[in-house]
Structure 1
Amino acid sequence: MQSEFDINSTEPTLVGGAAMPLERPSPMEPQSLRTLSDGMPRKSVIANGVKSDGLRRLLVVGSAFIMSVMAIYEMVSVFNVGGVTPLEYIVLVLFAVNFCWIALAFSGGIAGFIMLLKKPAPDTAESIKLHTRTAILMPTYNEAPDRIFAAVEVMSMALAASGEGHAFDWFILSDTTDPDIALAEEQAFLILRHKVSKDARVYYRRRRKNDARKAGNVADFCKRWGARYDHLLVLDADSLMETHTIVSLAQRMQADPDAGLIQTIPYLVNGNTLMARLQQFAARIYGPVIGTGLSWWAHKEGNFWGHNAIIRTQAFMSSAGLPHLAGKPPFGGHIMSHDFVEAALIRRAGWSVVIAADLPGSYEECPPSIVDLAVRDRRWCQGNLQHTRILFSKGLHWVSRLHLLTGIMAYLSSPFWLMLILSGLMLALQAHFIRPEYFTDQFSLFPTWPVMDSDRALRLFYITMGILFGPKILGVILLLKNSSMTKPLGGRIKAMCSVIVEVILSALIAPIMMLIHCGAVMSILAGRDSGWSPQRRDDGSLPWLTLIFRHRWHMLIGALLGYAAVLDSLTLLSWMSPALIGLWLAVPLSAMTGSERFGVWVKSVGILATPEEVSAPQLSVDSQARRAEYIHAIAEPWTLYRLLQDTELMALHLAVIDKKPHRLAGSAVESLEAITRVKVQEAQCQHNIASLFTRQELAYLLGNPLLLKQLQKLPEQSESEGLVSFC
């Protein structure tokens, strides 16, 4: 074998040692939701190390409660003028639920706005020298290898250049089930190893069986290698993180022995479609208000969003093992939205969970279209509704329960808003078409008129809209106040143009997403599982027929609601038009916002620009450049036939694949394994061997060294009666 790897070489070698370090097995037991383990919660090392400031909760949650009570009282007063009817009671209940939901976000936004006006104090932990070890994990599932490995190369080399690389190891943890992508990952790993082996330690493992999805992927790493590391820094397939951010997270974790988890607030980057840039702009301008407020009032009972966070390995392995929920999906089985639950379990065990809102340099990407957003939200919706079975688990902190409830309401709020709209429409149609009962059974000299305090109702509507859009207004105020931020964006006038475009597009898209979430909730309640599909990251365009099919119900519901409004009056139609126009235009709106070509044009004009887009982080620029090189290097991917023909490539492949067997000795043989083994036994030759297997069988075969070695022994061709025939 060669002594080093050449990208253009047809005979690469695995430099830098084994694909994974030596295992150090350690238990990570599933936690009970009904009882607490012995010794929980632990005693803090530092006095009040996990105690939060109660005044912060009183100010934020208390003010949200007061606002909600006042708004509900106003709504009761609107209806009480003529007595509350059953339909009005329904409207009242729906209004109360929705208002409480937005009031908490508003009061948290006020807190975030005030905190952002202050100059943050420097964190003293960032001056200490690291003596702990951190494993940086990047789980991947059928993602483009060029994206994953280019990002790891750039981040690891930047970290090594800082002089702190000794404290970190990098792991690409693959759950890929597509055999072509799996082989491309191995090629990319060899390139990565060659580039960084002298400066950074990078490893790769593809699980043969991806139980429990991403949570199971990380848990498998913990059980086999977690004991080697003090901390786990979890990234996502589209994550990027600056060296300063990585080091600061490790320093903060090392300085606080009671810290269990520290979550950053990622900025969205690299969006080219209009939909992606819309999300980027909103998250960058309004997101800090919400995120900083949440960080301030949640304090030591923060949350986890599944990536771009550092976790203390001891806390995670001892207290965050996820149980298997009884029953079948969507409510049973593996916990899908594992992050909220893991944060709640870590806090339950006596560790703090903190959101580091003051720490920049954390990035991720977002779905490129409405359809891709719907696919992702369908999975998230199922995971969050699954939290209804965890909400009342024993020992959870009430703020952790509130985080779980917030996640649930993120999707249930859509059906509540839809029911509120329909109930209000029914009230209007009732007043228009149903004759009022002027005289009741009780004796009265005067008729009973169905009346409503319209002035009070209009005032309450304006208050509700102010609460709903309050965080956005506060974000705009901070934007206009910060000249150093608006100047790169083209000045305050251009920044305000972007705000107006964002508000209009968000208003058009909101009713579509409301119906998408309603459909997701109904699908889950009907017992349908979301599955696990890889995400598209770049272009979100789809054929028009596909878009018409995807949005057919949205357009139909919009048309029916518009017709119902016209039956009452054109005035009602004009009031409902902001919610209906987006539904009527769902198909062209989806096509326009998902088009990369149109998004790039909007980008060239400078609308919806963010500071990270105008002056892209060097990390992102370097990563994009390296992606192009990886794409070129793996343009001719390995195949099973090539592996069987090339003993050196096969040796490399066998060195890279996971050493853990697909199943334990003595356990039941699964159908996939049995069918694949039978096909291997019946194979006559190597030529066109891949055509004998399904893609799922091929993925299993590529992870089984015994079967691969058996196939290697087959002749390239089979001969019968002196003639060459291909198998």
Structure 2
Amino acid sequence: MSSPQTTLLAAAEISLNAPPTPVENRLSMPAQNIFKFDSRSRRRRPPSDDSRRGGGRNGEEAPAQPAAANPWLARFVAFGGGAALTAYGGHEMYRVVDVGGVTMLKWALLALFILNFSWIALSFTSAVVGFVVLLRRRAAPPTPTRLREKTVVVMPIYNEVPSRVVATLQAIFEDVEATGLGASFDWFFLSDTTNPDIWIAEERAFIALRRRLGAVGARVYYRRREKNTSRKAGNVAEFVCRWGGAYKHMVVLDADSLMSGQTIVRLAAVMEADPDAGVIQTLPLVINRNTLFARVQQFAARIYGPLIAAGLSEWMGRDGNYWGHNAIIRTEAFAAHCGLPDLRGRPPWGGHILSHDFVEAALMRRAGYAVYMLPTLGGSYEESPPSLIDLSIRDRRWCQGNLQHSRVLFGKGFHWASRQHFLTGIFGYLTSPLWLMQLFVGIALVFQASYFRPEYFTAEFGIFPVWPRFDAERSLELFGLTMAILLAPKFLGLLVALWERDTRRGAGGALMLFVSTVFEIVLSALLAPIMMLIQTGHVLHIVFGFDTGWDPQRRDDGSVPFTAIVRRHRSHVAMGVLSLIAGLLISPSLVAWMSPTIAGLILSIPISYLTGQRWLGLVFRRAGVLGTPEETTTPPVAKRGKALYKGLQRLGEDEANGLQAIHDDPQLRELHERWLPSRRPRQRGVISADRALAETKLAEAETIEDAVEWLNRGERLVALSDRALIDVVARLPSREKLAAKPAEAAE
């Protein structure tokens, strides 16, 4: 009779010997034509389908429909209210500049003001809608007792820390298993990793994961693409084409995503109950952040994020958007309608679509499927960049992707709401250069009034002179209105947080919640002019034809070197100093008006450096400032993921050299060779430089240490991808063994 330990070991061995990927079940995923669409092909909801009204199939009770089926009232408030506010603000600004006549510079100032004011007006009215929605919060969908259909959870990874992503997926896996519905889910690591050492570390971590999970670990799979064509969108699309036919739905994660088991099974249940749904998006909250910069983002996302998301969800209804992760997707519909074409021309405007998620949502909606959000579902988390430098790196890529949407904005058949999502993304980056232009025009007007002799009597006949001045009192009132509209969403979020007992207590009580909000507003005001210049630089970079590339995101809290911060922000400091000098020469009152902007720019180096420090963030955490409920009471899945990561990190396998690892571990080497794709024989006379050098260096290497020292990254990648070269690596002795041989012979 076998012992429990023997049984466990046998189960682990079964899991370990299972293939890394299941049998393929292919789906066709043709590239869609953005500018051609036959509306007759759009899906129509079957008349007999009552699932959207809350009735399930086969007599079962289905989750209540969470998305607003008739969002027109919310749209009227958000867009009508935003338009009314913009009209009022534009009228008041016209009266400000109309004193003494409107010059070309004043017309430019008025136009820029209206563009910028419309953005904050729409944000304000959408936040008002969200405020009302949260005060009458809808109940979350119930936890199902069974699921009929198979769902796959996929995590695309690209040169990430292996122990980190494996720990995260294991924590989510275990949380889903705890619901009793784990058999309804499969799990996939979709690796696009190009670093050979990380590739081998991923395989080693995957093997260890299956060993820890035992028999159920056979439902966790790992696939690595040799070429990361079309980046993340291509990674997911390749999976759908090869294995998508086996799964009705897929939950898409990011490398920093975390979702509770309850949330994932609820998403699957809602998708089952709503056959019209193509994409159902959750609201990811930011967690696990320690630097001061990231903690500010974490606090803002937790206190203001639900308000903004509730407003968006309400007016979007079933014509919503997709943010690329922490969402569930109907696999067959995604394959049939969301294949992305390459845009004509070269990057940054042409080529692969970077911000693929917006376009996929628009294509899904065009095909007749609903896309909506469950903003109050909970249990959905992500992480944020730890510093301003890291945010700017990610932001540059997002900027290119969003500006690319100008190429698809007028695609045929898109719902107007999808076009509005595109415009929101585009305008989100154009606001920075527009604000900067408005600032320059304002300075030019003050300069003109201060240094150029006015022409009081123009060539046109008039009884009264033309005075070049503004209505100062009305200007001050308009400034107050603008600031009130800009800050109102933050204070509405604060009111909701104060009203919700768990949020209020989790953030340290009413007083600390208020203190944290004020601190966040002040720091954000100092960061705003820096981000304005950074984003303006991104826009200009892309306009002049520079591609951003695709580097892996830094996720840990390690500080950015001070020299890198100085290099990144020295132009911002120079701009701040020049603005200060120009302001003092023109008018001291101009300096007072621009003081937040000037202070933020001049102090950009210390602000960026200090906010990126982990120790300073921990000081604020101990003081109770910027606290969130998830930080006070860590979600179990996050606590488990952190514990697993710390344990795996101590093994030190993330940084190991791939050649050395393959050489030292026969089981890893055997599985690695077994998992390599079959290749066609190399064509005679065709050989890459990396392969030639790898073969030569391995032939000359006397020890494995020689190979580790001599082969560079590209050559290691070639060696680890070829069974013949792996065999050469395996037969190399270590220096210790080689040195021991003469001694043995002498004895």
Q: Same fold judged by TM-score > 0.5?
A: yes
State the distance in 2 between where 1:198 and 1:99 align: 59
Q: Give 1:640's aligned amino acid.
A: L
Q: Conserved in 2, the CA contact under 8 Å of 1:4 and 1:194?
A: no
State the distance in 2 between where 1:495 and 1:221 align: 44
Which residues in structure 2 correspond to 1:29-68 (within 5 Å)? 29-36=30-37, 40-45=41-46, 46=49, 52-68=70-86
Alpha carbons of 1:72 and 1:408: their partners in 2 closer, same or farther (altered >3 Å)? same
Which of 669, 673, 676 is the aligned partner of 1:654? 673
For residue 693 of structure 2, what is the aligned residue in structure 1? 679
- Deviation track 1:506-538 (CA, whole Å, cap 9, x = no partner) reads 111111111110111111111111111111112
For residue 167 of structure 1, what is the aligned residue in structure 2? 184
For residue 64 of structure 2, what is the aligned residue in structure 1? none
Q: Conserved in 2, the CA contact under 8 Å of 1:174 and 1:207?
A: yes
Corresponding residue SS for 2:188: strand
Corresponding residue SS for 1:633: coil
State the distance in 1 between where 2:237 and 2:678 align: 14
Worse-superposed segment, 15-24 or 538-547: 538-547
Q: Conserved in 2, the CA contact under 8 Å of 1:286 and 1:471?
A: yes
- Deviation track 1:674-700 (CA, whole Å, cap 9, x = no partner) reads 223323443415532345543134234
- Deviation track 1:51-82 (CA, whole Å, cap 9, x = no partner) reads 64333322221111121112112212222232
Q: Cα offset for 1:108?
A: 0.7
For residue 494 of structure 1, what is the aligned residue in structure 2? 512
Q: Cα offset for 1:634?
A: 4.3
Q: State whether structure 2 residue 24 is matched by structure 1 residue 23.
A: yes
Tell me the TM-score normalised to structure 1 length.
Answer: 0.93
Q: Cα offset for 1:198?
A: 2.4
Q: Conserved in 2, the CA contact under 8 Å of 1:157 and 1:199?
A: no
Q: Cα offset for 1:16?
A: 5.2
For residue 638 of structure 2, what is the aligned residue in structure 1? 620
Which residues in structure 2 correspond to 1:334-373 (within 5 Å)? 334-373=352-391
Q: Give 2:36's aligned amino acid.
A: T
Q: State whether structure 2 residue 587 is matched by structure 1 residue 532.
A: no
Which of 691, 699, 713 is the aligned partner of 1:695? 713
Q: Give 1:36's aligned amino acid.
A: F
Taking only the aligned residue pairs, the percentage that are identical comes to 45
For residue 81 of structure 1, what is the aligned residue in structure 2? 99
Q: Cα offset for 1:454?
A: 2.1
Corresponding residue SS for 2:553: coil
Which residues in structure 2 correspond to 1:115-514 (within 5 Å)? 115-123=133-141, 126-127=143-144, 129-200=146-217, 201-514=219-532
- Deviation track 1:8-31 (CA, whole Å, cap 9, x = no partner) reads xxx999715011111122211111
Q: Conserved in 2, the CA contact under 8 Å of 1:28 and 1:219?
A: yes
Corresponding residue SS for 2:216: coil
State the distance in 1 between where 2:326 and 2:150 align: 17
Alpha carbons of 1:660 and 1:415: their partners in 2 closer, same or farther (altered >3 Å)? farther
State the distance in 1 between where 2:618 and 2:17 align: 41
The number of aligned residues is 711
Q: Give 2:670's aligned amino acid.
A: A
Corresponding residue SS for 2:279: strand
Q: Give 2:24's aligned amino acid.
A: E
- Deviation track 1:119-172 (CA, whole Å, cap 9, x = no partner) reads 313536x44631111110111111111110001111111211211101111111
- Deviation track 1:418-469 (CA, whole Å, cap 9, x = no partner) reads 1111111111111111111011112334322123222222221111111111
State the distance in 2 between where 1:642 and 1:261 align: 41
Q: State whether structure 2 residue 615 is matched by structure 1 residue 597.
A: yes
Q: Conserved in 2, the CA contact under 8 Å of 1:271 and 1:366?
A: yes
Alpha carbons of 1:668 and 1:148: their partners in 2 closer, same or farther (altered >3 Å)? farther
Q: Cα offset for 1:493?
A: 1.2
Unaligned runs of 5+ in 1: none
Alpha carbons of 1:40 and 1:103: their partners in 2 closer, same or farther (altered >3 Å)? farther
Q: Conserved in 1, the CA contact under 8 Å of 2:259 and 2:380?
A: yes
Unaligned runs of 5+ in 2: 53-66, 743-747
- Deviation track 1:276-300 (CA, whole Å, cap 9, x = no partner) reads 1000000111111110000000001
Q: Conserved in 1, the CA contact under 8 Å of 2:281 and 2:323?
A: yes
State the distance in 2 between where 1:423 and 1:550 align: 26
State the distance in 1 between where 2:125 and 2:714 align: 50
Q: Conserved in 1, the CA contact under 8 Å of 2:27 and 2:332?
A: no
State the distance in 1 between where 2:81 and 2:182 align: 46
State the distance in 2 between where 1:667 and 1:54 align: 63
Alpha carbons of 1:186 and 1:91: their partners in 2 closer, same or farther (altered >3 Å)? same
Tell me the TM-score normalised to structure 2 length.
Answer: 0.90
Worse-superposed segment, 19-28 or 374-383: 19-28
State the distance in 1 between where 2:585 and 2:560 align: 36
State the distance in 1 between where 2:670 and 2:174 align: 28
- Deviation track 1:232-251 (CA, whole Å, cap 9, x = no partner) reads 10011111101110000000
Q: Conserved in 2, the CA contact under 8 Å of 1:160 and 1:199?
A: no
Q: Cα offset for 1:703?
A: 3.2
Q: Cα offset for 1:660?
A: 6.8
Q: Conserved in 1, the CA contact under 8 Å of 2:176 and 2:261?
A: yes
State the distance in 1 between where 2:331 and 2:41 align: 17
State the distance in 1 between where 2:548 and 2:154 align: 25
State the distance in 2 between where 1:38 and 1:58 align: 27
Q: Give 1:450's aligned amino acid.
A: P
State the distance in 1 between where 2:363 and 2:260 align: 29
Alpha carbons of 1:274 and 1:650: their partners in 2 closer, same or farther (altered >3 Å)? same
